[in-house]
Amino acid sequence: MSKLNFSIFRLIKAFWNTSISKELEYRLNLFIEIISVIGNLSGSLFVLSIFYKGGFNLGGWTWSESVVVLAIYTILDGLTTSILQPNLSRIVQQVQDGTLDFVLIKPVNSQIWLSLRVISPWGIPSIISGFLLITYTFIIGKKILSLYSILLFCLTLISSIFILYSLWFIIATTSIWFVRIWNANEVLRSVLVAGRYPISAFPAGLRFVFTFLLPITFLTSVPAEAILGKISLSLIIFSLLFSLALLFLSNKFWNFAISFYTSASS
Amino acid sequence: MPIISARSVSKIYKVSEKAPGLKGTLKHFFERRIRIIKAVEQLNFEISKGEIVGFIGSNGAGKTTTLKMLCGLIHLSSGSIEVAGHNPEQRDRNFLRQITLVMGQKQQLIWDLPPMDSFRLNAAVYGLSDRETKRRINELSTMLELDNELYRPVRKLSLGQRMKAELLASLLHRPTVLFLDEPTLGLDINSQIRVRQFLAEYNYKYGATILLTSHYMGDITSLCKRVLLIHDGKLFYDGLLSDLTNKLSPYRLVKLSLTDSDSAHFVSQFGQLVEYDDHLVKLLIARENLTEVLTTILNQFKVKDIEVTDPPIEQLIGKLLKSGNI
Protein backbone atom coordinates (compact mmCIF):
# COMPACT_ATOMS: atom_id res chain seq x y z
CA MET A 1 0.00 0.00 0.00
CA SER A 2 2.73 2.45 0.98
CA LYS A 3 4.56 1.62 -2.22
CA LEU A 4 1.44 2.31 -4.21
CA ASN A 5 0.91 5.67 -2.55
CA PHE A 6 4.48 6.57 -3.08
CA SER A 7 4.25 5.88 -6.77
CA ILE A 8 1.02 7.84 -7.09
CA PHE A 9 2.60 10.87 -5.43
CA ARG A 10 5.66 10.51 -7.60
CA LEU A 11 3.43 10.31 -10.62
CA ILE A 12 1.44 13.40 -9.66
CA LYS A 13 4.70 15.23 -9.07
CA ALA A 14 5.85 14.27 -12.55
CA PHE A 15 2.46 15.27 -14.00
CA TRP A 16 2.52 18.69 -12.39
CA ASN A 17 6.16 19.32 -13.15
CA THR A 18 5.52 18.93 -16.85
CA SER A 19 2.32 20.96 -16.88
CA ILE A 20 3.72 23.82 -14.78
CA SER A 21 6.80 24.10 -16.96
CA LYS A 22 4.45 24.23 -19.92
CA GLU A 23 2.18 26.88 -18.38
CA LEU A 24 4.98 29.10 -17.15
CA GLU A 25 5.95 29.71 -20.76
CA TYR A 26 3.18 32.28 -20.63
CA ARG A 27 4.09 34.67 -17.82
CA LEU A 28 1.61 37.36 -18.74
CA ASN A 29 -1.21 35.03 -17.73
CA LEU A 30 -0.47 35.41 -14.03
CA PHE A 31 -0.83 39.16 -14.21
CA ILE A 32 -4.11 38.92 -16.16
CA GLU A 33 -5.42 36.32 -13.73
CA ILE A 34 -4.68 38.46 -10.67
CA ILE A 35 -6.43 41.45 -12.26
CA SER A 36 -9.43 39.33 -13.14
CA VAL A 37 -9.70 37.84 -9.63
CA ILE A 38 -9.58 41.29 -8.07
CA GLY A 39 -12.20 42.51 -10.55
CA ASN A 40 -14.52 39.55 -10.01
CA LEU A 41 -14.24 39.60 -6.27
CA SER A 42 -14.81 43.29 -5.86
CA GLY A 43 -17.77 43.07 -8.24
CA SER A 44 -19.37 40.33 -6.18
CA LEU A 45 -18.64 42.12 -2.92
CA PHE A 46 -20.24 45.23 -4.34
CA VAL A 47 -23.41 43.35 -5.30
CA LEU A 48 -23.57 41.81 -1.85
CA SER A 49 -23.07 45.19 -0.18
CA ILE A 50 -26.00 46.65 -2.13
CA PHE A 51 -28.28 44.02 -0.59
CA TYR A 52 -27.09 44.76 2.92
CA LYS A 53 -27.03 48.56 2.52
CA GLY A 54 -30.70 48.42 1.66
CA GLY A 55 -31.30 46.66 4.96
CA PHE A 56 -32.10 43.46 3.09
CA ASN A 57 -31.14 40.33 4.91
CA LEU A 58 -30.11 37.39 2.73
CA GLY A 59 -32.01 34.46 4.21
CA GLY A 60 -30.86 35.17 7.74
CA TRP A 61 -27.20 35.50 6.81
CA THR A 62 -25.35 38.55 8.10
CA TRP A 63 -23.04 40.55 5.87
CA SER A 64 -19.85 38.91 7.08
CA GLU A 65 -21.43 35.47 6.89
CA SER A 66 -22.39 36.05 3.27
CA VAL A 67 -18.85 37.18 2.57
CA VAL A 68 -17.65 33.81 3.89
CA VAL A 69 -19.91 32.05 1.39
CA LEU A 70 -18.50 34.23 -1.36
CA ALA A 71 -14.97 33.42 -0.17
CA ILE A 72 -15.65 29.69 -0.33
CA TYR A 73 -17.07 30.12 -3.79
CA THR A 74 -13.85 31.91 -4.75
CA ILE A 75 -11.74 29.06 -3.39
CA LEU A 76 -13.75 26.46 -5.33
CA ASP A 77 -13.59 28.62 -8.42
CA GLY A 78 -9.81 28.72 -8.11
CA LEU A 79 -9.65 24.95 -7.73
CA THR A 80 -11.84 24.65 -10.78
CA THR A 81 -9.48 26.82 -12.78
CA SER A 82 -6.40 25.01 -11.53
CA ILE A 83 -7.46 21.39 -11.63
CA LEU A 84 -11.02 20.52 -12.61
CA GLN A 85 -11.35 22.56 -15.77
CA PRO A 86 -7.98 21.81 -17.37
CA ASN A 87 -8.25 18.09 -16.72
CA LEU A 88 -11.90 17.27 -17.13
CA SER A 89 -12.42 19.33 -20.25
CA ARG A 90 -9.63 17.34 -21.88
CA ILE A 91 -11.48 14.06 -21.47
CA VAL A 92 -13.93 14.88 -24.24
CA GLN A 93 -11.07 15.83 -26.52
CA GLN A 94 -9.13 12.68 -25.71
CA VAL A 95 -12.12 10.55 -26.53
CA GLN A 96 -12.58 12.48 -29.75
CA ASP A 97 -9.05 12.12 -31.07
CA GLY A 98 -8.41 8.71 -29.53
CA THR A 99 -5.45 9.73 -27.38
CA LEU A 100 -7.35 8.20 -24.47
CA ASP A 101 -5.67 5.03 -25.77
CA PHE A 102 -2.38 6.17 -24.27
CA VAL A 103 -3.98 6.66 -20.87
CA LEU A 104 -5.81 3.34 -20.82
CA ILE A 105 -2.68 1.46 -21.87
CA LYS A 106 -0.74 2.63 -18.82
CA PRO A 107 -0.63 0.61 -15.61
CA VAL A 108 -2.12 3.51 -13.68
CA ASN A 109 -5.62 4.20 -12.42
CA SER A 110 -7.03 5.95 -15.46
CA GLN A 111 -9.46 8.09 -13.45
CA ILE A 112 -6.64 9.51 -11.35
CA TRP A 113 -4.62 10.10 -14.50
CA LEU A 114 -7.42 11.94 -16.26
CA SER A 115 -8.35 13.97 -13.18
CA LEU A 116 -4.90 15.09 -12.09
CA ARG A 117 -2.83 14.98 -15.24
CA VAL A 118 -2.39 18.74 -15.51
CA ILE A 119 -2.45 21.66 -13.14
CA SER A 120 -2.77 25.26 -14.08
CA PRO A 121 -1.28 27.76 -11.65
CA TRP A 122 -3.79 30.42 -12.69
CA GLY A 123 -6.37 29.42 -10.10
CA ILE A 124 -3.98 30.03 -7.23
CA PRO A 125 -4.74 33.78 -6.91
CA SER A 126 -8.42 32.88 -6.41
CA ILE A 127 -7.66 30.23 -3.83
CA ILE A 128 -5.38 32.56 -1.86
CA SER A 129 -7.79 35.48 -1.99
CA GLY A 130 -10.64 33.21 -0.85
CA PHE A 131 -8.72 32.20 2.25
CA LEU A 132 -7.61 35.79 2.85
CA LEU A 133 -11.23 36.94 2.67
CA ILE A 134 -12.29 34.39 5.29
CA THR A 135 -9.44 35.42 7.58
CA TYR A 136 -10.35 39.05 7.06
CA THR A 137 -14.00 38.61 8.04
CA PHE A 138 -12.99 36.84 11.21
CA ILE A 139 -10.51 39.58 12.11
CA ILE A 140 -13.07 42.29 11.41
CA GLY A 141 -15.77 40.45 13.38
CA LYS A 142 -13.25 39.93 16.20
CA LYS A 143 -14.28 36.29 16.30
CA ILE A 144 -11.90 33.59 17.36
CA LEU A 145 -11.81 30.41 15.35
CA SER A 146 -11.69 27.20 17.30
CA LEU A 147 -9.60 24.31 16.07
CA TYR A 148 -12.79 22.29 16.01
CA SER A 149 -14.58 24.59 13.57
CA ILE A 150 -11.49 24.71 11.36
CA LEU A 151 -11.51 20.92 11.30
CA LEU A 152 -15.22 20.86 10.41
CA PHE A 153 -14.61 23.47 7.74
CA CYS A 154 -11.82 21.39 6.20
CA LEU A 155 -13.99 18.28 6.19
CA THR A 156 -16.94 20.01 4.55
CA LEU A 157 -14.73 21.84 2.08
CA ILE A 158 -13.17 18.52 1.04
CA SER A 159 -16.58 16.97 0.64
CA SER A 160 -17.75 19.91 -1.45
CA ILE A 161 -14.69 19.53 -3.69
CA PHE A 162 -15.44 15.82 -4.05
CA ILE A 163 -19.07 16.54 -4.93
CA LEU A 164 -18.21 19.11 -7.57
CA TYR A 165 -15.49 16.88 -8.99
CA SER A 166 -17.63 13.74 -9.10
CA LEU A 167 -20.55 15.42 -10.83
CA TRP A 168 -18.21 16.96 -13.36
CA PHE A 169 -16.36 13.72 -13.94
CA ILE A 170 -19.61 11.77 -14.40
CA ILE A 171 -20.81 14.24 -17.02
CA ALA A 172 -17.42 14.19 -18.77
CA THR A 173 -17.55 10.38 -18.76
CA THR A 174 -20.67 10.38 -20.90
CA SER A 175 -18.47 11.65 -23.74
CA ILE A 176 -17.44 8.00 -24.22
CA TRP A 177 -20.87 7.55 -25.81
CA PHE A 178 -21.78 11.00 -27.04
CA VAL A 179 -18.25 12.08 -27.96
CA ARG A 180 -19.11 15.70 -28.64
CA ILE A 181 -22.53 16.58 -27.29
CA TRP A 182 -21.83 17.56 -23.69
CA ASN A 183 -19.96 20.57 -22.67
CA ALA A 184 -19.52 19.65 -19.06
CA ASN A 185 -17.40 22.71 -18.32
CA GLU A 186 -20.15 25.17 -18.99
CA VAL A 187 -22.78 23.16 -17.12
CA LEU A 188 -20.79 22.66 -13.94
CA ARG A 189 -19.23 26.11 -13.90
CA SER A 190 -22.65 27.70 -14.00
CA VAL A 191 -23.87 25.35 -11.29
CA LEU A 192 -20.99 26.55 -9.18
CA VAL A 193 -21.78 30.21 -9.85
CA ALA A 194 -25.17 29.69 -8.21
CA GLY A 195 -23.27 28.93 -5.02
CA ARG A 196 -21.84 32.43 -4.89
CA TYR A 197 -24.53 33.54 -2.45
CA PRO A 198 -26.07 31.70 0.52
CA ILE A 199 -28.59 29.13 -0.66
CA SER A 200 -31.24 30.28 1.82
CA ALA A 201 -31.24 33.61 -0.02
CA PHE A 202 -32.95 31.95 -2.96
CA PRO A 203 -36.73 31.43 -3.19
CA ALA A 204 -38.07 28.17 -1.74
CA GLY A 205 -38.48 26.45 -5.10
CA LEU A 206 -34.93 27.12 -6.20
CA ARG A 207 -33.68 26.18 -2.75
CA PHE A 208 -35.24 22.77 -3.23
CA VAL A 209 -33.62 22.36 -6.64
CA PHE A 210 -30.24 23.51 -5.37
CA THR A 211 -30.32 21.16 -2.42
CA PHE A 212 -31.84 18.00 -3.76
CA LEU A 213 -31.43 18.07 -7.52
CA LEU A 214 -28.19 19.96 -7.87
CA PRO A 215 -26.29 19.75 -4.60
CA ILE A 216 -25.11 23.36 -4.65
CA THR A 217 -25.97 23.74 -0.99
CA PHE A 218 -23.18 21.34 -0.19
CA LEU A 219 -20.69 23.22 -2.30
CA THR A 220 -20.56 26.56 -0.56
CA SER A 221 -23.25 27.00 2.11
CA VAL A 222 -22.40 23.89 4.12
CA PRO A 223 -18.66 24.69 4.47
CA ALA A 224 -19.61 28.28 5.36
CA GLU A 225 -22.02 27.09 8.03
CA ALA A 226 -19.31 24.77 9.34
CA ILE A 227 -16.75 27.50 9.86
CA LEU A 228 -19.37 29.83 11.30
CA GLY A 229 -20.46 27.14 13.76
CA LYS A 230 -24.02 27.21 12.40
CA ILE A 231 -24.20 23.58 11.42
CA SER A 232 -25.36 20.33 12.96
CA LEU A 233 -22.97 17.42 13.13
CA SER A 234 -25.44 15.20 11.33
CA LEU A 235 -25.45 17.48 8.28
CA ILE A 236 -21.66 17.36 8.20
CA ILE A 237 -21.68 13.59 8.35
CA PHE A 238 -24.35 13.47 5.68
CA SER A 239 -22.35 15.80 3.46
CA LEU A 240 -19.26 13.62 3.87
CA LEU A 241 -21.09 10.39 3.15
CA PHE A 242 -22.85 11.96 0.20
CA SER A 243 -19.57 13.10 -1.33
CA LEU A 244 -17.91 9.73 -0.81
CA ALA A 245 -20.90 7.99 -2.39
CA LEU A 246 -20.66 10.28 -5.42
CA LEU A 247 -16.92 9.68 -5.67
CA PHE A 248 -17.50 5.94 -5.58
CA LEU A 249 -20.26 6.25 -8.15
CA SER A 250 -18.05 8.30 -10.50
CA ASN A 251 -15.43 5.56 -10.39
CA LYS A 252 -17.94 2.77 -11.02
CA PHE A 253 -19.49 4.75 -13.85
CA TRP A 254 -16.09 5.36 -15.45
CA ASN A 255 -15.17 1.68 -15.36
CA PHE A 256 -18.53 0.85 -16.86
CA ALA A 257 -18.13 3.47 -19.58
CA ILE A 258 -14.70 2.44 -20.80
CA SER A 259 -16.00 -0.99 -21.73
CA PHE A 260 -17.94 0.89 -24.42
CA TYR A 261 -14.92 2.82 -25.62
CA THR A 262 -14.46 2.33 -29.34
CA SER A 263 -11.29 4.39 -29.77
CA ALA A 264 -11.21 6.82 -32.66
CA SER A 265 -10.15 4.80 -35.64
CA SER A 266 -7.03 5.51 -37.60
CA MET B 1 2.91 -22.01 -25.14
CA PRO B 2 1.78 -19.03 -27.26
CA ILE B 3 2.10 -15.56 -25.74
CA ILE B 4 -0.84 -14.26 -27.74
CA SER B 5 -3.88 -16.31 -28.58
CA ALA B 6 -7.15 -15.22 -30.11
CA ARG B 7 -10.11 -17.58 -30.29
CA SER B 8 -13.20 -16.87 -32.38
CA VAL B 9 -12.76 -13.14 -31.85
CA SER B 10 -15.49 -10.92 -33.28
CA LYS B 11 -16.22 -7.24 -32.95
CA ILE B 12 -19.43 -5.63 -34.04
CA TYR B 13 -19.95 -1.88 -34.20
CA LYS B 14 -23.23 -0.08 -34.43
CA VAL B 15 -22.84 2.94 -36.65
CA SER B 16 -25.51 5.51 -37.34
CA GLU B 17 -25.69 6.71 -40.89
CA LYS B 18 -26.52 10.19 -42.11
CA ALA B 19 -27.48 11.33 -45.57
CA PRO B 20 -25.68 14.50 -46.74
CA GLY B 21 -27.18 17.98 -46.49
CA LEU B 22 -29.54 19.70 -44.07
CA LYS B 23 -32.39 17.36 -44.85
CA GLY B 24 -30.25 14.37 -44.08
CA THR B 25 -29.07 16.00 -40.86
CA LEU B 26 -32.63 16.71 -39.68
CA LYS B 27 -33.70 13.21 -40.51
CA HIS B 28 -30.66 11.89 -38.72
CA PHE B 29 -31.53 13.97 -35.68
CA PHE B 30 -35.02 12.56 -35.31
CA GLU B 31 -34.51 9.08 -36.57
CA ARG B 32 -31.20 7.33 -36.38
CA ARG B 33 -30.60 4.65 -38.89
CA ILE B 34 -28.29 2.16 -37.28
CA ARG B 35 -26.14 -0.12 -39.34
CA ILE B 36 -24.26 -3.01 -37.87
CA ILE B 37 -20.68 -3.32 -39.02
CA LYS B 38 -18.72 -6.46 -38.46
CA ALA B 39 -15.24 -5.05 -37.96
CA VAL B 40 -13.72 -8.40 -37.15
CA GLU B 41 -15.22 -11.83 -37.54
CA GLN B 42 -14.16 -15.14 -36.05
CA LEU B 43 -10.45 -14.47 -35.83
CA ASN B 44 -8.28 -17.34 -34.66
CA PHE B 45 -4.53 -17.15 -34.32
CA GLU B 46 -1.65 -17.78 -31.97
CA ILE B 47 1.68 -16.03 -31.72
CA SER B 48 4.69 -17.46 -29.94
CA LYS B 49 7.11 -15.59 -27.75
CA GLY B 50 9.77 -13.73 -29.72
CA GLU B 51 8.00 -13.85 -33.05
CA ILE B 52 7.68 -10.82 -35.31
CA VAL B 53 4.40 -11.11 -37.13
CA GLY B 54 3.19 -8.79 -39.85
CA PHE B 55 -0.46 -7.93 -39.83
CA ILE B 56 -1.50 -6.90 -43.30
CA GLY B 57 -4.70 -5.92 -45.02
CA SER B 58 -6.27 -2.94 -46.72
CA ASN B 59 -7.65 0.11 -44.89
CA GLY B 60 -10.65 -0.80 -42.80
CA ALA B 61 -9.86 -4.52 -42.87
CA GLY B 62 -9.92 -4.67 -39.08
CA LYS B 63 -6.22 -4.55 -38.27
CA THR B 64 -6.33 -1.63 -35.85
CA THR B 65 -9.47 -2.95 -34.18
CA THR B 66 -7.73 -6.27 -33.59
CA LEU B 67 -4.62 -4.60 -32.21
CA LYS B 68 -6.72 -2.55 -29.83
CA MET B 69 -8.60 -5.62 -28.68
CA LEU B 70 -5.26 -7.31 -27.98
CA CYS B 71 -4.27 -4.29 -25.87
CA GLY B 72 -7.54 -4.32 -23.96
CA LEU B 73 -8.62 -0.90 -25.25
CA ILE B 74 -11.63 -2.23 -27.11
CA HIS B 75 -13.81 -4.94 -25.68
CA LEU B 76 -14.71 -7.97 -27.77
CA SER B 77 -18.23 -8.69 -28.93
CA SER B 78 -17.52 -12.40 -28.68
CA GLY B 79 -14.64 -14.81 -28.43
CA SER B 80 -11.63 -14.65 -26.17
CA ILE B 81 -8.12 -13.28 -26.16
CA GLU B 82 -5.17 -14.10 -23.98
CA VAL B 83 -2.00 -12.04 -24.01
CA ALA B 84 0.91 -12.91 -21.71
CA GLY B 85 -1.41 -14.99 -19.58
CA HIS B 86 -3.94 -12.21 -19.08
CA ASN B 87 -7.32 -11.27 -20.42
CA PRO B 88 -6.53 -7.81 -21.87
CA GLU B 89 -10.01 -6.44 -21.12
CA GLN B 90 -9.32 -6.57 -17.41
CA ARG B 91 -6.39 -4.21 -17.92
CA ASP B 92 -4.49 -5.81 -15.10
CA ARG B 93 -1.43 -3.75 -14.16
CA ASN B 94 0.88 -6.71 -14.60
CA PHE B 95 -0.47 -7.11 -18.09
CA LEU B 96 -0.15 -3.43 -18.99
CA ARG B 97 3.46 -3.39 -17.76
CA GLN B 98 4.35 -6.03 -20.31
CA ILE B 99 2.85 -4.47 -23.39
CA THR B 100 3.08 -1.32 -25.42
CA LEU B 101 1.16 0.24 -28.25
CA VAL B 102 2.74 2.54 -30.79
CA MET B 103 0.56 4.30 -33.30
CA GLY B 104 2.02 6.05 -36.29
CA GLN B 105 -0.83 8.52 -36.46
CA LYS B 106 -1.17 9.39 -32.79
CA GLN B 107 1.42 10.62 -30.38
CA GLN B 108 1.85 10.53 -26.66
CA LEU B 109 4.80 12.92 -26.45
CA ILE B 110 4.01 16.31 -24.95
CA TRP B 111 4.02 18.69 -27.89
CA ASP B 112 5.48 21.79 -26.25
CA LEU B 113 8.19 20.10 -24.21
CA PRO B 114 11.32 18.16 -25.12
CA PRO B 115 10.91 14.36 -25.36
CA MET B 116 13.00 14.06 -22.19
CA ASP B 117 10.07 15.40 -20.15
CA SER B 118 7.73 12.80 -21.61
CA PHE B 119 10.26 10.08 -20.83
CA ARG B 120 10.49 11.22 -17.22
CA LEU B 121 6.72 11.09 -16.99
CA ASN B 122 6.63 7.56 -18.33
CA ALA B 123 9.43 6.58 -15.97
CA ALA B 124 7.24 7.74 -13.09
CA VAL B 125 4.27 5.84 -14.52
CA TYR B 126 6.23 2.61 -14.57
CA GLY B 127 8.05 3.33 -11.32
CA LEU B 128 11.58 3.34 -12.74
CA SER B 129 14.37 4.80 -10.63
CA ASP B 130 16.19 7.86 -11.96
CA ARG B 131 19.33 5.85 -12.52
CA GLU B 132 17.57 3.09 -14.37
CA THR B 133 15.65 5.63 -16.45
CA LYS B 134 18.88 7.32 -17.49
CA ARG B 135 20.48 4.01 -18.35
CA ARG B 136 17.55 2.94 -20.49
CA ILE B 137 17.24 6.28 -22.26
CA ASN B 138 20.95 6.12 -23.09
CA GLU B 139 20.69 2.62 -24.39
CA LEU B 140 17.57 3.15 -26.49
CA SER B 141 18.67 6.52 -27.84
CA THR B 142 21.93 4.95 -29.01
CA MET B 143 20.01 2.18 -30.73
CA LEU B 144 17.69 4.75 -32.33
CA GLU B 145 20.44 7.25 -33.13
CA LEU B 146 18.78 10.00 -31.17
CA ASP B 147 20.90 12.53 -29.35
CA ASN B 148 20.42 16.28 -29.06
CA GLU B 149 16.85 15.90 -30.29
CA LEU B 150 15.89 14.72 -26.81
CA TYR B 151 16.32 18.24 -25.45
CA ARG B 152 14.40 20.10 -28.13
CA PRO B 153 10.64 20.68 -27.94
CA VAL B 154 8.75 17.93 -29.75
CA ARG B 155 7.13 20.44 -32.08
CA LYS B 156 10.56 21.34 -33.44
CA LEU B 157 11.45 17.75 -34.37
CA SER B 158 11.14 16.18 -37.80
CA LEU B 159 8.60 13.43 -38.28
CA GLY B 160 11.33 10.79 -38.27
CA GLN B 161 12.88 12.09 -35.06
CA ARG B 162 9.48 12.33 -33.45
CA MET B 163 8.66 8.74 -34.30
CA LYS B 164 11.95 7.56 -32.89
CA ALA B 165 11.31 9.52 -29.70
CA GLU B 166 7.80 8.08 -29.62
CA LEU B 167 9.26 4.57 -29.81
CA LEU B 168 11.67 5.38 -27.02
CA ALA B 169 8.84 6.63 -24.81
CA SER B 170 6.80 3.52 -25.53
CA LEU B 171 9.65 1.11 -24.82
CA LEU B 172 11.12 2.70 -21.73
CA HIS B 173 9.42 0.14 -19.50
CA ARG B 174 10.93 -2.61 -21.65
CA PRO B 175 7.72 -4.30 -22.74
CA THR B 176 7.87 -7.84 -24.06
CA VAL B 177 4.83 -7.62 -26.28
CA LEU B 178 4.79 -4.78 -28.82
CA PHE B 179 1.76 -3.76 -30.82
CA LEU B 180 2.83 -1.42 -33.57
CA ASP B 181 0.24 0.23 -35.74
CA GLU B 182 1.91 1.76 -38.79
CA PRO B 183 5.07 2.77 -36.95
CA THR B 184 6.75 4.04 -40.11
CA LEU B 185 3.83 6.05 -41.43
CA GLY B 186 5.01 9.06 -43.40
CA LEU B 187 8.70 8.48 -42.72
CA ASP B 188 11.34 8.88 -45.40
CA ILE B 189 13.16 5.78 -46.55
CA ASN B 190 16.20 6.30 -44.29
CA SER B 191 14.10 6.72 -41.19
CA GLN B 192 12.03 3.70 -42.18
CA ILE B 193 15.14 1.58 -42.44
CA ARG B 194 16.45 2.89 -39.12
CA VAL B 195 13.17 2.05 -37.39
CA ARG B 196 13.13 -1.44 -38.91
CA GLN B 197 16.69 -2.11 -37.81
CA PHE B 198 15.85 -0.87 -34.37
CA LEU B 199 12.83 -3.15 -34.07
CA ALA B 200 14.83 -6.15 -35.21
CA GLU B 201 17.51 -5.30 -32.67
CA TYR B 202 15.00 -4.83 -29.87
CA ASN B 203 13.36 -8.14 -30.73
CA TYR B 204 16.71 -9.91 -30.68
CA LYS B 205 17.97 -8.28 -27.50
CA TYR B 206 14.89 -8.70 -25.34
CA GLY B 207 13.16 -11.62 -27.01
CA ALA B 208 10.16 -9.35 -27.49
CA THR B 209 7.13 -10.44 -29.45
CA ILE B 210 6.09 -7.93 -32.10
CA LEU B 211 2.84 -7.64 -33.97
CA LEU B 212 3.13 -5.00 -36.62
CA THR B 213 0.80 -3.46 -39.16
CA SER B 214 2.13 -1.47 -42.03
CA HIS B 215 1.22 -0.34 -45.47
CA TYR B 216 4.87 -0.32 -46.42
CA MET B 217 5.55 -3.84 -47.55
CA GLY B 218 9.24 -3.13 -46.98
CA ASP B 219 8.57 -3.15 -43.23
CA ILE B 220 6.87 -6.51 -43.49
CA THR B 221 9.35 -8.20 -45.82
CA SER B 222 12.39 -7.05 -43.88
CA LEU B 223 11.04 -7.87 -40.41
CA CYS B 224 8.40 -10.57 -40.56
CA LYS B 225 8.79 -14.20 -41.46
CA ARG B 226 5.17 -14.77 -40.71
CA VAL B 227 2.16 -12.72 -41.74
CA LEU B 228 -1.51 -12.58 -40.93
CA LEU B 229 -3.52 -11.33 -43.86
CA ILE B 230 -6.88 -9.95 -42.89
CA HIS B 231 -9.57 -8.90 -45.28
CA ASP B 232 -13.04 -7.60 -44.46
CA GLY B 233 -12.52 -8.60 -40.86
CA LYS B 234 -11.72 -12.19 -41.66
CA LEU B 235 -8.40 -13.94 -41.48
CA PHE B 236 -7.48 -14.88 -45.00
CA TYR B 237 -3.98 -16.17 -44.50
CA ASP B 238 -1.81 -17.12 -41.56
CA GLY B 239 1.62 -18.49 -42.33
CA LEU B 240 5.05 -17.84 -43.74
CA LEU B 241 5.44 -14.80 -45.93
CA SER B 242 7.29 -16.93 -48.50
CA ASP B 243 4.38 -19.37 -48.71
CA LEU B 244 1.99 -16.51 -49.19
CA THR B 245 3.88 -15.70 -52.35
CA ASN B 246 3.18 -19.19 -53.66
CA LYS B 247 -0.42 -18.90 -52.74
CA LEU B 248 -0.88 -15.49 -54.26
CA SER B 249 1.10 -16.18 -57.35
CA PRO B 250 1.34 -19.66 -58.83
CA TYR B 251 3.99 -18.28 -61.18
CA ARG B 252 7.72 -17.78 -61.14
CA LEU B 253 9.37 -14.84 -62.79
CA VAL B 254 11.93 -15.95 -65.38
CA LYS B 255 14.45 -13.49 -66.79
CA LEU B 256 16.17 -14.69 -69.97
CA SER B 257 19.04 -12.99 -71.69
CA LEU B 258 19.34 -14.26 -75.25
CA THR B 259 22.28 -14.10 -77.67
CA ASP B 260 19.98 -13.73 -80.62
CA SER B 261 17.48 -10.90 -80.55
CA ASP B 262 15.23 -12.54 -83.15
CA SER B 263 14.47 -15.52 -80.92
CA ALA B 264 13.15 -13.27 -78.17
CA HIS B 265 9.84 -13.05 -79.92
CA PHE B 266 9.45 -16.83 -80.02
CA VAL B 267 10.56 -17.32 -76.45
CA SER B 268 7.92 -14.92 -75.26
CA GLN B 269 5.24 -17.39 -76.29
CA PHE B 270 6.25 -19.88 -73.58
CA GLY B 271 4.70 -17.90 -70.76
CA GLN B 272 2.96 -14.74 -69.73
CA LEU B 273 5.06 -11.89 -71.05
CA VAL B 274 6.04 -9.25 -68.54
CA GLU B 275 8.74 -7.35 -70.33
CA TYR B 276 10.35 -7.68 -73.72
CA ASP B 277 13.37 -5.69 -74.74
CA ASP B 278 15.64 -6.71 -77.56
CA HIS B 279 17.77 -9.46 -75.98
CA LEU B 280 15.97 -9.55 -72.67
CA VAL B 281 12.70 -11.35 -71.96
CA LYS B 282 10.83 -11.48 -68.66
CA LEU B 283 8.18 -14.17 -68.41
CA LEU B 284 5.79 -15.50 -65.80
CA ILE B 285 5.76 -19.28 -65.96
CA ALA B 286 3.49 -21.55 -63.94
CA ARG B 287 5.40 -23.29 -61.16
CA GLU B 288 4.30 -26.78 -62.09
CA ASN B 289 5.63 -26.54 -65.67
CA LEU B 290 8.70 -24.54 -64.84
CA THR B 291 11.39 -27.19 -65.39
CA GLU B 292 9.68 -28.56 -68.46
CA VAL B 293 9.33 -25.16 -70.13
CA LEU B 294 12.83 -24.08 -69.20
CA THR B 295 14.28 -27.29 -70.65
CA THR B 296 12.47 -26.67 -73.91
CA ILE B 297 13.66 -23.09 -74.10
CA LEU B 298 17.25 -24.05 -73.31
CA ASN B 299 17.16 -26.76 -75.95
CA GLN B 300 15.71 -24.59 -78.69
CA PHE B 301 17.37 -21.21 -78.14
CA LYS B 302 20.76 -19.82 -77.28
CA VAL B 303 20.47 -18.43 -73.76
CA LYS B 304 23.24 -16.27 -72.32
CA ASP B 305 21.89 -15.91 -68.84
CA ILE B 306 18.89 -17.08 -66.88
CA GLU B 307 17.38 -15.94 -63.58
CA VAL B 308 14.35 -17.41 -61.82
CA THR B 309 12.73 -15.46 -58.97
CA ASP B 310 9.42 -14.95 -57.20
CA PRO B 311 7.47 -11.97 -58.36
CA PRO B 312 7.96 -9.15 -55.80
CA ILE B 313 5.64 -9.72 -52.83
CA GLU B 314 4.90 -6.00 -52.57
CA GLN B 315 3.36 -6.07 -56.00
CA LEU B 316 1.41 -9.23 -55.35
CA ILE B 317 -0.13 -8.12 -52.10
CA GLY B 318 -0.62 -4.62 -53.38
CA LYS B 319 -2.50 -5.96 -56.35
CA LEU B 320 -4.49 -8.27 -54.16
CA LEU B 321 -5.51 -5.57 -51.71
CA LYS B 322 -6.34 -3.17 -54.46
CA SER B 323 -8.54 -5.59 -56.32
CA GLY B 324 -10.14 -6.77 -53.09
CA ASN B 325 -10.62 -10.19 -54.58
CA ILE B 326 -9.49 -12.69 -52.06
Q: What is the mean pLDDT of chain B?
A: 88
Mean pLDDT of A99-104: 93
The residue in chain A having the minimum alpha-carbon distance to the alpha carbon of residue B99 is A105
**Residue B162: band (very low, low, confident or very high) from pLDDT cuts 50, 70, 90:** very high
B74: nearest CB among A14, A102, A262: A262
Q: Domain for residue A224, yes or no?
A: yes
Q: What's B32's DSSP letter?
A: P
**Residue A180: band (very low, low, confident or very high) from pLDDT cuts 50, 70, 90:** low
What is the residue extent of each domain of chain B?
2-7+42-246, 250-309
Residue B290 C-alpha, separation from nearest chain A C-alpha, in angstroms: 43
**CA triplet B124, B130, B132: central angle to 5 degrees?**
100
Mean pLDDT of A54-77: 83
A266: nearest CB among B100, B105, B120: B105
Which value does ipTM take for this structure?
0.80
Q: Is A99 on the interface with B (CB under 8 A)?
A: yes
- Residue B288 neighbours by CB under 8 Å, 6+ apart: B250
B181: nearest CB among A99, A108, A266: A266
Residue B199 or residue A45, greater confidence = B199
Largest CA distance in chain B: 77
Topology of domain B2-7+42-246, CATH? Rossmann fold (3.40.50)
- How many CA within 13 A on the CB side of residue A40? 19
Residue B262 or residue B170, greater confidence = B170
Under a CB-based contact definition with an 8 Å cutoff, are residues B251 and B267 in contact? Answer: no
Element (H, E) at B205: helix B189-206
Domains contained in chain A, number: 1
The residue in chain B having the minimum alpha-carbon distance to the alpha carbon of residue A3 is B127
pLDDT of residue A181: 52
Q: How many CB pairs under 8 A join A and B?
A: 78
- Cβ distance A11 to B74 less than 8 Å, yes or no, reads no
- Taking Cα atoms as reference points, which of A77, A91, A67 lies closest to residue A33? A77
Question: Measured between beta carbons, which residues in chain B are less than 8 angstroms from residue A18?
Answer: 110, 113, 117-118, 120-121
* Domain assignment of residue A32, given as a range: 2-258
Identify the residue among B58, B64, B74, B107 best suited for mutation to test binding to A, counting A beta carbons within 10 A and taking the highest.
B74
The Cα–Cα gap between A54 and B19 comes to: 60
Task: Provide the CATH number for the domain formed by B250-309 in this structure.
Answer: 3.30.70.1150
**Residue A4: band (very low, low, confident or very high) from pLDDT cuts 50, 70, 90:** low
- Residue B118 neighbours by CB under 8 Å, 6+ apart: A18, B108, B109, B110, B154, B165, B169
